[in-house]
Structure formats: structure tokens, C-alpha cells
Amino acid sequence: MQQPRVDILFEHAPSARVLIGGAWRIGENCPRAEATINQLQALHGLEIVRLETQDLMHWDSLLLTYIRALSQFCDAQQMTLDTRGLPEGIQGLLMLAAAVPERQDASRQKNPDDWLSVLGRHTLWLIKDIGLLADFIGEAILGLFRLLGGQSQMRWSDFWRLVEACGPHALPIITLISTLVGMILAFVGAVQLKLFGAQIFIADLVGLGMAREMGAMMTAILMAGRTGSAFAAEIGSMTVNDEIDALKTSGFSPMDFLVMPRILAMLVTIPLLCLYADIWGMIGGALVAAGLFDISASEYLIQIQTRLRLIDFEVGIGKSAVFGILVATAGCLRGLLCQRNASSVGLATTSAVVTGIVYIVISDALMTLLVTALNLYKR
Amino acid sequence: MLTPSTTPHPPDLSPRQVHISVRELTMAYDDFMVQKDMDFDVLRGEIFIIMGASGCGKSTLLRHLIGLKPPVTGEVFFDGQNLWKLPPKERQSMLLKMGILYQSGALWSSMTLAENIALPLTAHTPLSAKEIADLVSLKLALVGLSGFESFYPAEISGGMQKRAALARALALDPEILLFDEPSAGLDPISARRLDRLIVHLSESLGITAVIVTHDLASLLDIGTNSVFLDTETKTIIAKGPPDMLLRTSTHPTVKEFLTRGQSKRTATSAREASR
Ligand SMILES: Nc1ncnc2c1ncn2[C@@H]1O[C@H](COP(=O)(O)OP(=O)(O)O)[C@@H](O)[C@H]1O
Ligand SMILES: [Mg+2]
């Protein structure tokens, strides 16, 4: 196997010969165009570059890119590049590559991004996004009125199928996560409470924490990952496949037909799931209390019964309903806004989960403020 | 509500009646202009071809005709009624007179073929379940898919999906059928069968067909009239029956398109083949 090589002969003043030889293939240690160009630049009075081959054995696209680089250099320096000494195959391919001139606007140029413009763009995007979501929720409310007025095209069979997908199928994962969250709450709290010999208040901590906050929050986050993403993927692939257009032209409103059953199914199931998560969280807390801190199950239960009131559960469940609406809306909206290509379904799904979770946390902060301001927990 | 019967609108006897007119239509996505100043008429019962290179805006034009995208300027008329000036309710019922075959078929993938065809019927007609089932099996039989009622779209071949989508487009006995590249992704034989089916249906039901295509064999074969959208000038550069355009058009782009950029000799033989 012969090494690929390039020799430059500058015998008579205006023209130089570039002799290309050896095996020019991707993977071989081929000479680089920049090196040759540097050498050519050093020659004074050079006007014509003749490319010739000498014992050239194999060649592939690598040689072509090398010659193209030389050719661009010659164009820029207004020299003549003579390729007649090359094999016909190479000449043919070079002609093919040069047949259509490069379109200036085709290779899109990206403006260099300074942080200010990135910040600005993202802010505008976020404002637009919140506007879109608000519009969409508004439309959903109109859809709800149509449903109440018996004008909706929603099919109850879709609704029941979705209730099954949102609810019972989510139970195993919710059981696992909420039990563990209950255990974590109990453990973190108990280590501190034990310093004062007040372990019994583990029950208060876990009970209030799960009922008011964590039950709703964990359920909503799980639903965003499990169901919001599924909504976005289902509706997104329908968008890509023109199925949404087909619905519209068959006289169906995607809002009534696809979005309403999903929002309603989520709205019906999530409070139940939240209550279920509350209970398992408290069971998780009881396990830690009994196992590590010597509090019997009956003590724990009595403590929870004296401390927790209905309003604690009501606040959590109310929050979960709001989260459910946000998660379902974000999923459906992302699916409907999906671009018409396959990779955009993935983007829509990711974005549904991310926006779902962001809206959960933002709305939770607002609702917690509201509940405190209204003094709902007052005894 | 529509009450479908087998032939709700008998074939029109005066052949010169205008069914669809497009006037000074300009189409754009945001600030990206697709086509401008488009003017053409589609007569009742015609098989009207919209042709042009990929990306020239054929699908976009179709979206304007079927009420999915409002024009930037200009008007679309059906039977003399301005589509985009109608109140939404009436526009909706006008759109129900159209059957659309999307490029990808666009069958609802979570439903069986029977449910796909039945859905528009249950929503827009007062028919009983039994009558709907009968209609579904009739429509499937028309496109040669008898017995496939309980198949899901993913379980049948591409050609069968296209035909099933045609059956769905026929569900409400439309007056106009619109097709987006019906032969795209089909082998020549299936494409041919679909062409024949379109001609057959349009003749026997008196349906006006608007077909977006760049399948030369098919458009020269079945088209009775056409427009050619140009990418360079962004407007219509030729109108008329496709075979006449092939013979008489002097516009280089149209000529190149209709002859596949080949010499005169092959052009003539292509014409002969299409006879
Ligand atoms: N949703 C869209 N947003 C922006 N531009 C689009 C969109 N859809 C199509 N286009 C552009 O409009 C032009 C016409 O597209 P299209 O009507 O699909 O072409 P055709 O069907 O003739 O191949 C293309 O240049 C395409 O890039
Ligand atoms: Mg198209």
C-alpha cells in the first residue's frame, strides 16, 4: 500500500504542477489541502495550477474535497486551475459538484447570540406561550358550555376509555411513589423531632404535608409524565398524519372531540388519585414511625385524627384538580401545535411534560399564597 | 343535516356550469409568499388537475379550498357562494359537501375502517346504526375493500389505506372530491387502479374531482382540465387540458415538466402511451 502524497513542482514561472499519487482514501493519512495551499501561497508569480496524477491507486471523496478546496483557493486568488490531468471520473464528479452554484441564502446563517437577545427571545416566547395556554383554556371553557348545553360532539365512550387510562392504570406507580414520599417526610422530620423527644408529631408532619401539599403535587407530576405526555404524543402524531385536518374537514371540532374528553377524564380522576396518594403517604409515614421511632400504628392514627381536618384534604384535592386541568391542557395544546414531522412529536411530548411541571409549581405557589391569605386553616 | 341517498345530486346536464371559482387568491405563511394572483374555474363533473413542482404550493392551495386556511387576499367560491364570507355554520355545511383524500390517507388510526367511515355519518345524519352499517359496507365495497370493516388502518397496505380513505371521503356523498397526491407512495399498478376508480366515481356519481398530482401518466390520462403552479414566478403559468398543454404549451417550465425534461421524441411517445 502506497502512502498518499502530493508533490509541488514549480519549474517555469507562471505555472506549477501539483502531482497527486498513492492511495487517497478516507482512513489513510492523506495530505491536507491547507498545507498545499500554504505552499502554493509561498510561490511568487504563480498564475496557473495544473493538477496531475502520478501513480494514483485509489481515491474517494476525500480527494475530491481536497481538490475542491484547491479550486476555491484558486478562484479566490484569481488563478487558473487546470484539472485536465486528472482521471475522467474525478473530472466528471467535480463538474457535477460545480454545476449548480452555491445558493447564498440556502446555507442559513445564524446570528451570533449574545445573552441579552437570548433572554429577550425567551421572555417573548414565554409571554406568547402563557397567552396561548390562556386562549386554549378559554376555548376549553366554551367547549364545556357546549357540553353542558348538549351541543358538544364529545363521545362519552372516549371519555370512559380515557378515565381508565388516566386512573386505574396509574395506581401502581402512585402507590409506590407516595408511600416513599411519606416515608421520606417522616424520616426527615423525625430526626429533628427526636431531639426534643417529640416523635409523636411525625404523624402531624406527614399527615399535613401529604394532605395539603405533597399528595397533590406528586400525583400531578406523575400525571404530567404519564398522561400529559401521552396526550401530547397521541394528538401530535394525529397532527403529523393530517388526522386533525381530516377531523376538521369532516365537521368535528378537535376541541370537542379530542381535548374535552381528555381534560374531563383528568379532572375526574386526579382528585381521587390525590386522595389515594394522601392515604399511602400516611401509611408510609406510619411504617417509618413504627419501625424506627417506636410509635405504634394506633398512636399514629389517633394523632392524625386529632390533628387533620377536612379542610386540609379539601385544599389538597382542590389543588390537584387545578393541576390536572393544567397538565391535560398543556398535553393537548402541545400535541395540536406540533409541526408536521416525526421528530416534532418527540419535542411536543417533552415540552408537554416540562411545561406541565412548570405550570404545576407556579400555580401551587400562587394557590398556597391564596390559601394563606384567606386564612383557610384557621381553627 | 344532510340526508344521504345514493345519488343526492344527479349528474349535471349543462356541462359548462362553474362549480368552484378561485379569484385573485394570494396564499402565504406569515411573511412567506407561496403563490399570488391565482384565478381559475372548475366546472361541474370535471377532473381538474393542480400540478407543479414539489414545494410550489399545491397542498397549500388545497388547504384554502377546503377551508383549513383563510386566504391572504382573494376569494374562493363554491356554486357562486363565497366560502370565506359565509357565516361559520353555513361554511361548515358547505365543507361537508366535499370529500378529501389527504396525502397520507389520514385515516383515524385509533378507529377501525368501519368506524372511520361511520364517524361522519353518525355526526351529520339522522341514520340508525343499522343503516349506517349498511352504508359503510357499501362504501367499502365501492373501493374494493369488502370485508375489511374491522381492520385498523395500520393493519392494511398503503394502497388499501388510500382506498379506505377514499371510502371515508365518499361517506357523506360529496359533490366534490379533493385529492392530495393520490398516487404518492403507491406502486404503478395500485396507482393506476386508484386513477380508474376516481374516473369511475366521478362519472357515475357526477362528482367534481380536484386532484393535486405530479404523476405524469396519471394526469395526462385522467385530467380534463388543469392549472400549473410555478415556483419561480409564484403564480399560475398555464391552464387547460393537460394533454393540450403537452402539445401546445410553449412555456419552457411547463414543457419540461410535462416531458420530464426529455426530448421531443420521448414526449410524443409518452403522449401515445397515455391514450
Ligand atoms: N406550515 C407551514 N409553515 C410555513 N411554511 C410552509 C408550511 N407548509 C408549507 N410551507 C411552505 O410552503 C411551500 C408550499 O408547500 P406545499 O403547499 O406543501 O407544497 P407542495 O404540496 O406543492 O409540495 C413550501 O415552500 C413549504 O416550505
Ligand atoms: Mg404537497
Report yes or no on whether pTM surpasses 0.80. no
Alpha carbon of B241: minimum distance to chain A alpha carbons (Å): 29
Ligand nearest to the CA of B180: 2
- CB-based contacts of A281: which residues, under 8 Å, 6+ apart? A178, A179, A181, A182, A185, A206, A209, A210, A214, A215, A218
Question: So what's the pLDDT on residue B267?
Answer: 45
Count of C-beta atoms within a 10 Å radius of residue A112: 6
Distant-in-sequence, close-in-space partners of B251: CB < 8 Å, separation ≥ 6: B237, B238
Mean pLDDT by 10 residues, chain B (275 residues): 43 66 91 90 92 90 90 90 87 88 90 93 89 91 88 90 90 91 84 87 88 88 91 89 89 87 52 47
Residue A155 has pLDDT above 60, yes or no: yes
Task: Identify the nearest ligand to the CA of B56 by its number.
Answer: 1
Point out the ligand nearest to the CA of residue B58: 1
- CA dist list (Å): A303 to A94, A289, A307, B90: 85, 12, 6, 65
pLDDT at A106: 54
Nearest CA to ligand 1 atom 18: B59
- pLDDT, residue B209, reads 93
Helix then strand then coil, % of chain A, to nearest 5: 70, 10, 20
Give the per-residue pLDDT at A283. Answer: 93
Task: Say which of B95, B108, B123 has its CB closest to residue A243.
Answer: B108
The CA distance from B28 to B191, in Å, is 31
- B105 neighbors B179 (Cβ within 8 angstroms): no
Task: Judge: B68–A247 Cβ closer than 8 Å, yes or no.
Answer: no
Q: Which pLDDT belongs to residue B5?
A: 43
Chain A hits for B113, CB-CB cut-off 8 Å, are none
Around ligand 1, the residues with Cβ closer than 6 Å are: B 29, 32, 34, 52, 54-60
- Band the pLDDT of A94: cuts 50, 70, 90: confident
Q: Count the neighbouring beta carbons within 10 Å of the beta carbon of residue A93.
A: 16
Of A234, A247, A251, the CB nearest to B95: A251
pLDDT, position A171? 93
* Chain B residues within 8 A of A245 when measuring between CB atoms: 63, 68, 102, 106
- Given a cut of 60, is residue A92 above it in pLDDT? yes
Choice from B32, B181, B215, B231 to test ligand 1 binding pocket (greatest atom count within 8 A of CB): B32
Sort out which chain B residues have CB atoms less than 8 A from A237's CB and list them.
109
> How confident is the model at residue B204, as a pLDDT?
86
Residue A115, CA atoms < 13 Å, CB-side half-sphere? 0
Q: How many CA atoms lie within 13 A of A334 on its CB side?
A: 28
Name, of A47-51, A76-80, A269-273, A368-372, the range with top average pLDDT.
A269-273
- Identify the CA nearest to B210 among candidates B201, B200, B223, B220: B223
What residue's CA is closest to ligand 1, atom 25?
Answer: B55
By mean pLDDT, which of A236-240, A344-348, B262-266 is the weakest? B262-266
pLDDT in tens, A205-222: 999 999 999 999 999 999
Q: What is the spatial distance between Cα A49 and Cα A71, in angstroms, rounded to a whole number?
A: 9
The β-bridge partners of B43 are: B18
Using 50, 70 and 90 to split pLDDT, how confident is the model at A125?
confident
CB neighbour list of residue B129: distance below 8 Å, 6 or more residues apart: none
Q: Out of A158-172, A364-378, B6-20, B256-270, which region has the weakest mean confidence (pLDDT)?
A: B6-20
Residue B77: helix, strand or coil by DSSP? strand
Question: Measured between beta carbons, which residues in chain A are less than 8 angstroms from residue B124?
Answer: 251
A165 touches B at CB < 8 Å: no
Contact A243 B67 (CB under 8 A): no
- Distance, CA of B230 to CA of B232 (rounded, Å): 6
Q: Is the pLDDT of residue A4 over 90?
A: no
- Are A243 and B103 inside 8 Å of each other by CB? no
How much is the CA Rg of chain A, to the nearest whole Å? 34
Q: Which residues of B touch A247 (CB under 8 A)?
A: 108
- pLDDT digits 0-9 by tens, B22-42: 999 999 998 888 998 999 999
Pick from B178, B141, B177, B186: nearest CA to B61: B178
Cell numbers that stand for A285 in this block: 409515614
Distance A347 CA to ligand 2 centre (A): 23
Distance from CA of A225 to the nearest CA of B (A): 22
Q: What is the mean pLDDT of residues A291-302?
A: 87
Do B109 and A238 make contact, defined as CB atoms within 8 angstroms? Answer: yes
Q: Give the list of residues 6+ apart from residue A59 with CB closer than 8 angstroms, or none.
A: A23, A24, A25, A87, A90
What's the distance, Cα to Cα, between the start and end of chain B in Å? 43
Q: What is the distance between the alpha carbons of residues B272 and B257, in angstroms, rounded to a whole number?
A: 17
